[in-house]
């Protein structure tokens, strides 16, 4: 295979990879949107289980403590989209967000004579 054909083939593969990355990006966005309400509901159910599962602790909180708990839960639920984006939406969880060029070109190593990928 000639160098020109290899270059064309590499270009074709890059274009295919770019298309797949775009499709994976849309899937990731859909996934994050889908799990956000579930996560918020999970926060609510976990707090409810804690409140009903430990009635003596709940009673010790009193009305003021329960009010603060409700405010804290409301704040947590409001922050859920940002938390999901930060904890689940980060690049480490999604290979299509990794830098593709790292897979093809060796990076400098701190050890002479070695490369790392």
List the domain range (segments joined by +) for residue 33: 6-92
> Per-residue pLDDT for 45 more than 50?
yes
Look over the chain and give the mean of its residue pLDDT values, rounded to a whole number. Answer: 83
Query: Is 106 contained in some domain?
Result: no
Sequence-distant (6+) residues with CB within 8 A of 21 are 96, 100
Query: Is 112 contained in some domain?
Result: no
* The model's pTM: 0.65
User: Can you say how many angstroms the Cα of residue 99 is from the centroid of all Cα atoms in its chain?
Assistant: 16
> Per-residue pLDDT for 113 more than 60?
no
Query: Is 28 contained in some domain?
Result: yes
Chain segment 53-90, per-residue pLDDT in tens: 999 999 999 999 999 999 999 999 999 999 999 988 88
Query: Which residues pair with residue 108 across a beta bridge?
Result: 115
Q: How many domains does the chain have?
A: 1
pLDDT for position 80: 96
More confident residue, 99 or 25: 25
pLDDT for position 102: 52
Query: Is 113 contained in some domain?
Result: no
Give exposure, 53-87, as e/b (b: 16+ Cβ within 10 Å): eeeeeeeeeeeeeeeeeeeebeeebeebbebbeee
Query: Is 24 contained in some domain?
Result: yes
Query: Is 117 contained in some domain?
Result: no
pLDDT for position 100: 59
Query: Is 104 contained in some domain?
Result: no
Query: Is 49 contained in some domain?
Result: yes
pLDDT for position 103: 53
């Amino acid at each position: 295979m000639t160098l020109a054909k290899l270059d064309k083939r590499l270009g074709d593969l890059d274009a295919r990879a770019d298309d797949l990355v775009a499709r994976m990006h849309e899937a990731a966005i859909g996934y994050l949107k889908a799990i956000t309400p579930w996560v918020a509901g999970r926060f609510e159910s976990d707090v409810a289980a804690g409140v009903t599962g430990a009635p003596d602790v709940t009673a010790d909180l009193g009305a003021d403590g329960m009010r603060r708990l409700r405010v804290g839960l409301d704040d947590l639920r409001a922050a859920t989209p940002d938390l999901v984006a930060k904890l689940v939406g980060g690049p480490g969880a999604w290979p299509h967000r990794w830098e593709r060029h790292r897979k093809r070109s060796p990076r400098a190593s701190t050890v002479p004579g070695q490369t790392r990928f």
